C-alpha cells in the first residue's frame, strides 16, 4: 500500500493566499500496505482498483470484487484547504492534477468552510451542504459539479460541517475500498457530530483513519481559547487509549508544532504575545500551537497512545524548504516565519510500513 501524507494549507492562514499546484506536490508522504500476515510487499503506483476495473466510475469489475474485499486503502492525502469551495473555484486544475498524479485512496480535507444544511432557526444537518438560499444553492451546485467529475467522481464523500462558513471536514474514499463504518465524533458515534465538524473517523478491517481539524489554542485562558484546547487534548488522549485495539492513522491540521525543529524560529514563537497579554501560567505563553503546555499534552498523546509522527520518523533534521506547512503573513512580524502544524500520526506498529 502506498499512501500520501502531508497537507498543504496555502501560503498564509492570515491572508488566504491560494495554494499552488507545484507546492502541493512537495508535501506528499507514502505508507506501505498493512498486510494481514505482517509481510511487506513492494508498493506500486497502480490504482486502488485493478486495471481491468472501471477507472471512470471507480467501481471494480466482478473479478475484482473478491480481491478488493481483502485490500484496504493504502495511499492517503490530507489537505487543509482553507476553504474547499474557494479551492474548487480558484485552484481546481492544480488539485485535480495532483489527485490524478498521486492517485490517493483517501483524501482528508480540513477547513471545508461550507455551512451545514438547514434554514435559519431550524436544526442543522452537518452531513449535507446548505442549499436554502440562492447563494448557498449556487455554491452547492458548484461543489457537486466539481466532485461529480473525474477524478473525484471515483470517490464517495462524507461531510461534517459547521453551522456557518467556519471549520468543517470532509473525507473522500475510493469506491473500491469502502469503510466498515464512518463516525463524526471522538465518541465514535455516527449520529453525533463534533462542534464545528472537526472529526471524521473511518474504520477499516485492520486500521482506523481519523481526520481532524483541531481547535486553535488561542491567546487567552477563556472558554473559546485555552480551555477549549485543554478539553480537546484530554479527549484525544482518551480516544487513542480507548481505540488501541486497532492501528490508527491520524491526519489533518492538528494545530500544534511539537518540537523546536517544527518551527522556523523557536525563540520568536515561544515568546510571542498578543497585545502584551501574559497568561498567568507561563507554560501557556507564546504562539498558539507552540506553547509549552500544548506541546507537552501532544507529546503525552503520542507517548501514551504509542503513536509517532510519520514525517519526523523519516526526517530527523530541520528542512527549511519543505519541513513546514504554515507560513506567516508576508507583511509584518510574521514574514518568513513558518510552522509545521499538519501531520500524519501513525501507530508505532505501522512504522515499518512507512515508505516516504
Q: Which residues are annotated as a binding site?
A: 82, 111, 253, 255
CA–CA gap between residue 284 and residue 226 (Å, rounded): 8
DSSP string spanning 252-294? EE-----SGGGBS-HHHHHH--STT---SSGGG-SSTT--HHH
Set 213, 311, 334, 343: catalytic member: 213
Ramachandran region of residue 103, left (φ > 0), alpha (ψ -120 to 50) or beta?
left
Judge contact between 328 and 285, C-beta under 8 A: no
Judge contact between 75 and 98, C-beta under 8 A: no
How do 208-213 and 199-203 pair as beta strands? antiparallel
Judge contact between 173 and 58, C-beta under 8 A: no
Judge contact between 34 and 207, C-beta under 8 A: yes
Phi then psi for residue 114, to 5 deg, are -125, 130
Annotated binding site for Mg(2+): 82, 111, 253, 255
What the block records as the C-alpha cell of 346 is 501513525
Sequence length of the chain is 356
**Does residue 213 carry a catalytic annotation?**
yes
CA–CA gap between residue 131 and residue 174 (Å, rounded): 26
The distance between the two most distant Cα atoms of the chain, rounded to a whole number of Å, is: 66
For residue 175, count other CB atoms closer than 10 A to its CB: 18
**Does residue 196 carry a catalytic annotation?**
no
CA–CA gap between residue 262 and residue 343 (Å, rounded): 11
Name 158's bridge partners: 171
How do 106-110 and 76-80 pair as beta strands? parallel
Residue with cell 518568513: 336
Helix, coil or strand: residue 332: coil
Residues known to be catalytic: 213, 253
Amino acid at each position: 500500500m502506498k499512501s500520501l501524507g502531508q497537507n498543504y494549507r496555502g501560503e498564509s492562514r492570515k491572508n488566504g493566499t491560494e495554494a499552488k499546484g507545484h507546492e502541493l506536490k512537495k508535501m506528499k508522504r507514502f505508507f506501505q500496505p498493512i498486510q494481514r500476515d505482517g509481510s511487506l510487499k513492494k508498493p506500486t503506483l497502480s490504482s486502488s482498483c485493478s486495471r481491468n476495473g472501471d477507472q471512470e466510475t471507480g467501481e471494480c469489475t466482478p473479478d475484482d470484487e473478491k480481491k478488493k474485499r481483502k485490500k484496504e486503502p493504502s495511499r492517503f492525502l490530507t489537505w487543509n484547504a482553507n476553504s474547499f469551495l474557494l479551492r474548487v473555484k480558484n485552484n481546481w486544475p492544480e488539485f485535480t492534477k495532483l489527485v490524478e498524479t498521486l492517485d490517493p485512496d483517501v483524501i482528508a480535507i480540513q477547513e471545508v468552510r461550507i455551512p451545514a444544511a438547514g434554514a435559519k432557526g431550524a436544526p442543522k444537518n452537518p452531513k449535507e451542504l446548505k442549499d436554502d438560499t440562492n447563494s448557498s444553492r449556487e455554491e452547492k451546485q458548484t461543489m457537486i459539479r466539481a466532485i461529480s467529475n473525474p477524478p473525484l467522481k471515483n470517490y464517495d464523500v462524507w461531510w461534517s460541517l459547521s453551522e456557518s462558513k467556519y471549520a468543517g471536514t470532509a473525507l473522500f474514499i475510493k469506491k473500491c475500498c469502502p469503510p466498515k463504518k464512518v463516525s463524526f465524533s471522538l465518541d465514535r458515534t455516527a449520529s453525533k457530530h463534533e462542534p464545528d465538524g472537526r472529526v471524521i473517523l473511518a474504520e477499516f478491517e485492520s486500521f482506523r483513519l481519523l481526520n481532524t481539524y483541531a481547535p486553535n489554542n488561542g491567546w487567552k485562558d477563556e472558554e473559546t481559547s485555552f480551555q477549549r484546547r485543554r478539553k480537546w487534548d484530554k479527549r484525544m488522549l482518551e480516544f487513542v487509549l480507548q481505540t488501541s485495539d486497532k492501528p490508527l492513522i491520524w491526519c489533518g491540521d492538528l494545530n500544534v508544532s511539537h518540537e523546536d525543529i517544527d518551527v522556523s524560529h523557536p525563540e520568536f514563537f515561544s515568546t510571542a504575545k498578543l497585545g502584551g497579554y501574559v497568561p498567568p501560567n507561563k507554560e501557556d505563553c507564546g504562539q498558539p500551537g507552540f506553547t509549552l503546555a500544548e506541546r507537552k499534552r501532544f507529546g503525552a498523546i503520542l507517548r501514551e497512545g504509542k503513536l509517532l509522527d510519520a514525517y519526523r520518523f523519516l526526517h530527523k533534521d530541520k528542512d527549511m524548504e519543505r519541513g513546514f506547512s504554515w507560513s506567516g503573513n508576508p507583511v509584518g512580524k510574521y514574514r518568513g516565519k513558518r510552522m509545521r502544524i499538519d501531520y500524519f500520526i501513525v501507530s508505532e506498529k505501522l512504522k515499518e510500513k512507512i515508505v516516504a
